Structure 1
Amino acid sequence: MYENVQIGIVGAGSVFTPELIELILEKKLDVSKIVFMDIDSERLEILASLAKRQIEHSEMDISVETTESYKDAIINSDFILLQPRVGKGQMRIEDEKLAHKYHIPYVETVSVPGLGAFLRTVPVYNEIASLIKEYAPNARIMNFANPAGPLTTYLHRIGLTNTVGVCNVPVSYVSSVAEIFDVPEESVSMSWKGLNHFAAADEVLIDGKNVLPELAEKASLGEYYFPFSLQVLEDTKLGLSPYFQWYLHSDERMEELLEKEKSRGEEVKELEKELLEIYSQPETIEMPELLKKRGGFKYSEVVANLIESFQTNNHHVHYINVPNNGTLSSLPDETIVEVPAIVQNGEIFPLQAGDLPKFIKSFVSNMATVYDYWISAVMNKDGSDLRKALMLDPVFSDAKHSDALLKEIFAVNEDYVENFYS
């Protein structure tokens, strides 16, 4: 069923696409065609040309086609990868400016940038979903577009139940632990569970031994995957997603944001410009070290590993976003949760995860409700649901600002989102 497959990449102009191609070639996945789709013709040409050089260098027989049409990327594809950034990097920067103005801690999926990206992506996903239902109803869909959790949930709500959400955070956490303890990544496993970007592990095992008690002492605090105070790590005794820092250390993060000369979106824009210049050089075949500085590095590893498991029925453990269906007892069945899972005979099976750690249980449940309000707002054109979402999200500290903020969010995004807010 998953032999000689076609992969359609929506948003193939992403700077991460070469990493994916490299892994497909390294793993010698049974792929016959990859369709590169992007609305940015310049980026599309740069990334497709690099992919052709990579494939030629590997001596594998994979054809690469380019298109600016969603339909062309979808029709006949066995795997459809969704990684668009609607509004490009500039709209992320505009979101950050709004969060900055209202002194709300922010990063790509937290607070205003998360909501802005969700609102912009929904109309595009409505169009894509209709095309998938008509032209590739049995395709496996992998969503990496942020905010990955709410967008994966939305795709399920509108009928694309073959969708999984993929993220680099869990595999990068595993990689960080392996580096700290100087062991191969394959020897590290963990009971990772929660929502995308809001998950935690109450066990991190190396060859069966729980190393969490030692991790707080060994980790270099302040590094990306350990941005917490020693007190937080010692008290919680959890392996926390780094995104919790925006809630557990919100005042400190906000002070840092106010002091910075450039927002993360502005930094990423400059970084991507440099990466695209490297990619456009005819001699470029291998991935530059610079890519590791771009948040999201290793996402392609999740995608390539998943495709490999669909093709080989191996027992690789994937940390992915799937419907809960009783996996975590304190969350509704329809909630999309991030948990360990395996693929067998073309089906995904979450590994039994029990329940959420007590420390994050109420927070995760609360954020699941926040995302439900986002989704009901766009499905029912109900602006009051967005106000309720802001009231529930702890990072929005004062409800009195919600009306003015939401009006500005819709004004800034008028080219991408129908203004249903009132």
Structure 2
Amino acid sequence: MRLTILGGGGFRVPLVYGALLTDRGEGRVTEVVLHDLDAGRLHAVARVLAEQASATGDAPRVTATTDLDEALRGADFVFSAIRVGGLEGRADDERVALAEGVLGQETVGAGGIAYGLRTVPVAVDIARRVARLAPDAWVINFTNPAGLVTEAMSRHLGDRVIGICDSPVGLGRRIARVLGADPKQAWIDYVGLNHLGWVRGLRVAGRDELPRLLADPALLGSFEEGKLFGADWLRSLGAIPNEYLHYYYFNREAVHSYQQAERTRGAFLRDQQARFYAEVGNRGTRALELWDRTRAEREATYMAENRESAGAGERDADDLSGGYEKVALALMRAIARDERTTLILNVRNRHTLAALDPDAVIEVPCLVDASGAHPVAVDPLPGHAIGLVCSVKAVEREVLAAAESGSRATAVKAFALHPLVDSVNVARRLVEGYRAVHPGLDYLK
């Protein structure tokens, strides 16, 4: 099988390739095509992958190209992990929002809207090219904002585009570990949108173990989300929220912490990865060793401002391993080999959540087989959760409408309607601020 990775010069590509190296089964990926607009980054990542493959016989062959159409032709799977505007764009997203006193995180609030507005047109172009050049390919979308971008691409690819995220995987793993359960044997009742979901149950052998967790303050305080949100708030919710909901439930504290930080997350990653790509090109540099050190630092500082504002301390070592690459591999295996499995994915709603229309992309457990990913029926969300889901989905729809029409007024509406943007005037200033720093938003008139 041939896997094309868009954003093939991205820092996390070796995670995907490392997962492929563990797959020795029939019908595995035998060819990987890296595509990126930056030839230098492609070369750097190819060096890391070559060192990864050196200890593995019959590793998937790797080629690289800056020609998108060439990369797509003949693909069985397309993994999309592009970053429109690069990390400089992410840093600008954060800076412009924080100057207005609102959140600039890359997938949540003003920053997520700005990122979506410049990413959706590019993602739609990719979807159209896939439909023309590789109509039988399955697209696995990891490009953020993942739910929004998956929905944009689904309008051209239907159910052949599936969004993935490692947040629900990590959350379910942490809950199972605290309860002494095997994550592979647990059914995780998770529902919402990407970066906006809740675990409402964790069933082992038919028994829901989540009430036992919620009733034990010591257990609740022993893992990431318990430290972030606090045991009292989790018991009030009767569920365990995705870590990104910290931006909603503790927005004032999160914004203050980001404003006080020496550098925003985007600026930190921009500087860190600039050093990595510069150093990896030096003769004699051990590319894989350098990449491992850089990744460890990256993971250890994830959501550092939120943990600081909550007094949550350092991340546990078990939470530094990522996970999205394992979801991607499991998804490809299930489709290519009809190895039926259950994964939490971003797919079209169909009739899963009654409050949303069938084409709305949601994040829920799905049964996956050779015919794709099929969302599992879930119980209705409580009123506070469905209100937030509907509100954020309405904002996503305005982003899609603005990207399609090029309407500046619709873009302002998207910002103004978001729960974390508290003023129409702020929304107007945000649009102008983002248009000033992002050439990719010149289409908004």
Which portions of structure 1, spanning 4 or more consecutive aligned residues, are displaced by more than 4 angstroms? 273-280, 285-288
* Counterparts of residues 252-271 of structure 1 (less than 5 Å): 252-271=253-272
Q: CA deviation at 1:226?
A: 5.0
Q: State whether structure 2 residue 229 is matched by structure 1 residue 228.
A: yes
Report the Cα distance in structure 1 between the residues aligned to 2:226 and 2:148, rounded to whole angstroms.
22
For 2:70 and 2:30, the matched residues in 1 are separated by: 16
CA distance in 2 between counterparts of 1:271 and 1:308 reads: 34
Of 398, 405, 409, 1:384 maps to 409
Percent identity (aligned): 23
How many aligned residue pairs are there? Answer: 416
Q: CA deviation at 1:229?
A: 3.0
Q: CA RMSD in A?
A: 2.3
Q: Mapping of 1:117-132 within 5 angstroms?
A: 117-132=115-130
Displacement of 1:390 in angstroms is 2.3
One-letter code of the match for 1:91? G
Q: In the alignment, is the contact (CA less than 8 A) between 2:340 and 2:368 conserved in 1?
A: yes
CA distance in 2, matches of 1:199, 1:272: 30
1:103 Cα offset (Å) = 0.4
2:179 equivalent to 1:181: yes
Contact 1:9 1:35 in 2 (8 A): yes
Residue aligning to 1:409: 434
Question: What is the CA distance between 1:225 and its match in structure 2?
Answer: 7.2
Match of residue 307 from structure 2: none
Specify whether residues 40 and 220 from structure 1 end up closer, same or farther in structure 2 by C-alpha distance, changes over 3 A only: farther
1:354 matched to 2:355? The reply is no
Post-superposition Cα deviations, 1:106-155, rounded to whole Å, max 9, x if no partner, equal: 32211222112112212322332232122101110011111011111111
- 1:22 corresponds in structure 2 to 18
Give the whole-Å Cα distance in 1 for the aligned partners of 2:342 and 2:227.
23
For residues 216-365 of structure 1, the aligned pairs below 5 Å read 216=214, 217=217, 218-220=219-221, 223=224, 227-273=228-274, 276=277, 281-282=285-286, 284=288, 287-288=292-293, 289-290=296-297, 292-293=299-300, 297-365=322-390
Seen in structure 2, the aligned counterparts of structure 1 residues 137 and 283 have a Cα distance that, compared at 3 Å, is closer
Distance 1:383 1:119 in 2: 11
Q: Offset at 1:287? A: 4.7
Partner in structure 2 of residue 43 of structure 1: 41
Task: Please state if 1:418 is matched with 2:442.
Answer: yes
Against the structure 1 CA distance between its residues 291 and 276, is the aligned structure 2 distance closer, same or farther, given a 3 Å change threshold?
farther
Change beyond 3 A, Cα 1:162–1:65: same
Q: Deviations over 1:64-89 (max 9, x none)?
A: 10101111221100000110111110
Structure with more of its chain in helix, by fraction? 2
Return 5+ residue gaps in structure 1 as ranges. Answer: none
What does residue 112 of structure 2 align with? 114
1: distance between equivalents of 2:352 and 2:268?
38
Q: Report how far residue 53 of structure 1 moved.
A: 2.7
Stretches of structure 2 lacking an aligned partner (at least 5 in a row): 303-320
Counterpart CA distance in 2 for 1:254 and 1:294 is: 17
Distance in 1 between residues matched to 2:431 and 2:292, nearest whole Å: 40
> What's the secondary structure of 2:84's corresponding residue?
coil
SS at match of 1:343: strand
Which has the larger displacement, 5-14 or 39-48?
39-48
Q: In the alignment, which residue of structure 1 is the partner of 2:314?
A: none
SS of corresponding position for 1:333? coil
Q: How do residues 11-90 of structure 1 correspond to structure 2 at under 5 angstroms?
A: 11-28=7-24, 30-90=28-88
In structure 1, the partner of 2:400 is 375
Given that 2:366 and 2:373 are in contact with CA atoms closer than 8 Å, whether structure 1 keeps it comes out as: yes
Alpha-carbon distance in 1 for matches of 2:179, 2:339: 26
CA distance in 2, matches of 1:347, 1:95: 35
- TM-score w.r.t. the length of structure 1 is 0.92
Structure 2 residue 152 is the aligned partner of structure 1 residue 168 = no
| Secondary structure, aligned partner of 2:288 | coil
